[in-house]
Amino acid sequence: MAKEKKNKLKIKEIPKKAKSFIKALPNKTKVFIKNLPDNSKKFIKNFPHNTKVFVKNNPMFTFFVISNLINSILLRAFTVKNYASISPILADAAFILIIASFSYLFKPKNRFKYLITWEIILTLVCLINSMYYSNYVSFTSFSLIATSVQIFGVGDALENVVEIKDFCYIWGPIIFFYLNYSLKKRGHFNNFENEKRKTKFAQALAAGVIILVCFLLTVTGTDISRLYKQWNREYVVMKFGIYIYQANDLVASLKPQISPLFGYDAAAKEFRDYYKKYPSEESDNKYTDVFKGKNVIVIHAESIQNFLLDTEINGTEIAPNLKKLASEGLYFSNFYAQESVGTSSDSEFTFNTSLLPASSGTVFVSYWDREYVTIPKLLKGNNYYTFSMHANKPNFWNREVMHKKLGYDKFYSYTNDFEIKDEDILGLGLNDKSFFSQATDKIKKINNKHDNWYGVLIMLTNHTPFTALDGQETLDLTYKHKKVNEETGTEEEVVNDYLTDTILGNYFETAHYADAAIGEFVDKLDKEGLLDNTVLVIYGDHDAKIKRSEYDYYYNYDPETDSKLDEDDPKYDEFTKYDYELNRKVPFIIWTKDHKYQKEIKDVMGMYDILPTLGNMLGIHSDYALGHDMFNTDDHFVVFPNGSWITNKMYYDNQNGEGILLKEGDIISSDYIEKYTARAEQEVTVSNDIIVHDLIKKTRESEEIKGENK
């Protein structure tokens, strides 16, 4: 696995001119103040006293500003690490001051209600983003409020999300309540009933505006563009601070309602220009129409990552069935999901449409009413019956509605179509083995009614929080090794817990169970004669979202101390952020019973390449696919929703403007990075425009009108 190379720069000596400047600074400062106009001198001279008086007379205002500024700095310290950067401090300070200035429009006794409301809101902004960043290395969105119901479907996953540091932000509201109580007890507010509230409001607002202007002087056109597009969230927070990011995100979250009013013409032009330059051409290669007329079963393998296929725990393979299917079929070993905040639903969307997830919100919830070209719709044009199955509630991720929009004739769900016995409940719901068993019976009935059919089965057991599999065959997650007993001098076997009761260990167990369920499913399909004219497609929907620290422990475990190796230990090999990103790849397998392809494709591939690649094999094509047929292109490139990208040569982190070469000895130019960065940004923008402005539907309507007028 590729490792990050670290080059540390050391400052050996401060230049002599700099030393002279520092030495002369106090005297130069005195001269500067001496030459100032009298009013300015008076202002500077009285500044400490005036500040002291202001703080004494405005304790709540002062505390509100300071507490929320500290919290924003803490958040960036825990996340993007640029806590000392001036730009976001200015941006956050300006935002806080402007918000606080409006408190002076209230009487002193009511001012607390206004400020505490905002104190709680801004505290929650920091707390929620801290939690979200720890698990998804990104910042949350207001649009997630619309999908917050999904959290309840994940149950105790919250235990794996919250860390102690996430509660360091709540000190603000607690002290604020105490401060208000103390001030009321001392009769503080009675002294300011006759204060000039409008004057104070104007002064505080002016201070906020002045700081905002100072901040805007540091902003470039590129910064404004990224703020508007919003998909490069880490960069936006690093430059604009957390509060302006979140306020801007609120506006972006309203796009589904206001998008028809703004930006349509520009979006439509960019859309037309893109497909004129990069038309989605039909493929012509040795795999063209190879599966035309065959039935298709797609397995949406929940949270299955690619490295599991080559991992053993105490001699037991975690995913032997997937490994076998991969070795016999077409196995794409460098395949990446391209999901965003919608996780599984995003992967379903990209798999079906060859478009990227929405930059704000999720398509399944916020943009379900748009028109999309999908695999089920295209196959229905070839007289296929299409269906989907998932042993979860139909309203989860709005699937009951969205699956109809994607073109499935029927959605079989937990509530309406599966028998749920108490002994079959595992994790979030019906276990995968029972699900597949019941699904096979349903597929058999479908096969008897329809000549051709296409079905997607969405797995569930291997869903976070990866709960312990009580009553199931589990992996041995201990570490056994020989150690000399210091008292007896004899060699003894020592058994360490190692991965027992860890999140990664639980993940290995649930993934092992899911793999066994897939194996049983394939066997039952074969016994029922359902594989004779069928293509089996398996894809991992996304990575397990397990923290990097868990992998660092796994790869740097020291059995002698039963803990992670110290970072100073020569044997320590850090699991870097690049290792983590590259390890997120998931399996993609195309397998048939009657033909063993036994081919591994190592070129980089993304979820949006499935429709063009599989579509060419099935004889279908979308004019709006962003991806490419893997067997018909030499330009292997995958863009992620945050603008980062990967090719066969390098992975590039567009959030931080840095990357890593994937092969030693490769040389790339700055033009190479600029080319693919521009392409990444263009694909993210065009895809989002298609979704937000419903451009496929409107383009078709326009073409129909033109056709009628001819």
- What count of residues does the chain have? 710
Instruction: Report CA 54 to chain centroid distance, whole Å.
Output: 44
Q: pLDDT band for position 360 (50/70/90)?
A: confident
Q: What is the pLDDT of residues 547-579, one digit of tens each?
A: 899 999 999 999 989 999 999 999 999 999 999
Q: Where are the beta strands (DSSP E) in 133-229?
A: none
* Cα separation, 576 vs 93, whole angstroms: 34
Q: Is the pLDDT of residue 144 over 70?
A: no
> Which pLDDT score is estimated for 15?
45
Q: Is the pLDDT of residue 495 over 60?
A: yes
> Which pLDDT score is estimated for 14?
38
Across 31-40, 233-242, 482-491, 590-599, least confident range: 31-40
* Cα separation, 654 vs 670, whole angstroms: 14
> Encoding tokens for residue 614?
């599989």
Q: pLDDT band for position 149 (50/70/90)?
A: very low
Q: What is the pLDDT of residues 413-466, one digit of tens each?
A: 987 899 988 888 887 889 999 999 999 999 999 999 999 999 999 999 999 888
Closest listed residue to residue 468, CA positions, set 430, 425, 507, 434 = 507
Closest listed residue to residue 511, CA positions, set 440, 581, 608, 586 = 586
Identify the bridge partners of residue 388 per DSSP, sorted by sequence position: 411, 456
The one-letter amino acid code at 228 reads Y
> Which pLDDT score is estimated for 645?
97
Q: What is the pLDDT of residues 87-128, one digit of tens each?
A: 999 999 999 999 999 999 988 778 899 999 999 999 999 998
Instruction: Report CA 649 to chain centroid distance, whole Å.
Output: 23
Whether 414 and 435 have beta carbons less than 8 Å apart is answered as no
Whether 545 and 157 have beta carbons less than 8 Å apart is answered as no
- Rounded to a whole number of angstroms, the CA Rg of the chain reads 30
Whether 136 and 542 have beta carbons less than 8 Å apart is answered as no
* Residue bearing tokens 């397995």: 299
* CATH 3.40.720.10, the chain: domain bounds: 292-467+503-543+584-636
Q: Is the pLDDT of residue 624 over 50?
A: yes
Cis link prior to 465 (omega < 30° from 0)?
yes
- Torsion-angle region of residue 406: left (phi > 0), alpha (psi -120 to 50) or beta? alpha
> Which pLDDT score is estimated for 164?
80
C-alpha distances in Å from residue 262, one per residue of 415, 692, 698:
40, 11, 15
H-only helix segments in 254-372: 255-258, 264-277, 320-328, 343-353, 363-366
Indicate the angle between helix axes 264-277 and 670-692, nearest 10 degrees. 130
> Which pLDDT score is estimated for 5?
37
Q: Is the pLDDT of residue 156 over 50?
A: no
Q: Averaged over 404-414, what is the pLDDT?
A: 95
- Coil, helix or strand at residue 503: helix
Q: pLDDT band for position 479 (50/70/90)?
A: very high
Q: Is the pLDDT of residue 303 over 70?
A: yes
> Which pLDDT score is estimated for 13?
36
Whether 372 and 172 have beta carbons less than 8 Å apart is answered as no
Q: pLDDT band for position 188 (50/70/90)?
A: low
* Cα separation, 641 vs 269, whole angstroms: 21
Q: Averaged over 13-19, what is the pLDDT?
A: 45
Q: Is the pLDDT of residue 591 over 90?
A: yes
Tell me which DSSP letter residue 296 carries: E
Closest listed residue to residue 436, CA positions, set 522, 559, 322 = 522
C-alpha distances in Å from residue 141, one per residue of 251, 370, 496:
11, 21, 42
Look at 40 and 268; give whichever has higher pLDDT: 268
Which segment, 178-182, 393-397, 572-576, is predicted with the most confidence on average? 572-576
> Element (H or E) spanning 299, and its range?
strand 295-301
| Fold of the domain spanning 292-467+503-543+584-636 | Alkaline Phosphatase, subunit A (3.40.720)
H-only helix segments in 38-104: 38-57, 59-78, 86-101
